[in-house]
């Protein structure tokens, strides 16, 4: 038997105004995207925004449906929209934030496993890491890539 360890490094900021201006802008766009969330069942509004390799910022939100699981998380809506709009560009970074009744949650909200796997796919497609910024009313966490959020991604396709 061999015991192995894994360490995840990330940055933590005490408020949005402590971020680099470009990260602050991306997070503010995600906060704005929360307002377009359609979440009549969970009341859990999530907004996400991405910065593309061409400099464009795109945003979207979670969309629920009475025929669960027909809805979709904000992270996947945003990533799919970005890839459809700019199929030859890469996602460089994504900001994610959640709110309830118009108020940001006190702690960051992490993407679900399905969203993490989709983002890992876009890292593979773009051949570059995607920075992830998780915002909240309290702290903000910044991860350098998806593997920091999901270290054992499914990537067993032939090279």
Quote the pLDDT of residue 158.
Answer: 57
To the nearest 10°, the Cα dihedral for 143, 145, 147, 148?
-10
Residue 123 known to be catalytic? no
Task: Output the domain CATH number for residue 136.
Answer: 3.40.140.10
Residue 2 lies in a domain: no
Asked if residue 158 is part of any domain, the answer here is no
The pLDDT assigned to 47 comes to 98
Spans of the chain, pLDDT less than 70: 156-159
Q: Considering the domain boundaries, does residue 138 fall inside one?
A: yes
| Total domains in the fold of the chain | 1
Spatial distance between the Cα atoms of 122 and 58, rounded to a whole number of angstroms: 15
Catalytic residue among 14, 20, 64, 75: 75
Query: What range does the domain containing 84 cover?
Result: 11-148
Whether the predicted model's global pTM rises above the 0.85 cut: yes
């Amino acid at each position: 038997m061999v015991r192995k360890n894994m360490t995840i490094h990330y940055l933590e900021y005490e408020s949005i105004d402590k971020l680099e201006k470009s990260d602050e802008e991306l997070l503010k766009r995600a906060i704005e995207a929360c307002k377009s969330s359609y979440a009549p069942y969970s009341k859990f509004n999530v907004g996400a925004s991405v910065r593309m390799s061409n400099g464009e910022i795109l945003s979207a939100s979670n969309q629920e449906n009475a025929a669960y699981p027909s809805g979709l998380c904000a992270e996947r809506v945003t990533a799919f929209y970005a890839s459809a709009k700019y199929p030859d560009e890469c996602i460089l970074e994504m900001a994610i934030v959640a709110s309830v009744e118009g108020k940001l949650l006190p702690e960051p909200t992490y993407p679900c496993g399905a969203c993490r796997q989709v983002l890992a796919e876009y890292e593979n497609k773009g051949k570059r890491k995607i920075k992830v910024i998780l915002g909240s009313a309290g702290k903000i966490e910044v991860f350098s890539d998806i593997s920091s959020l999901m270290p054992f991604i499914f990537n067993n396709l032939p090279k």
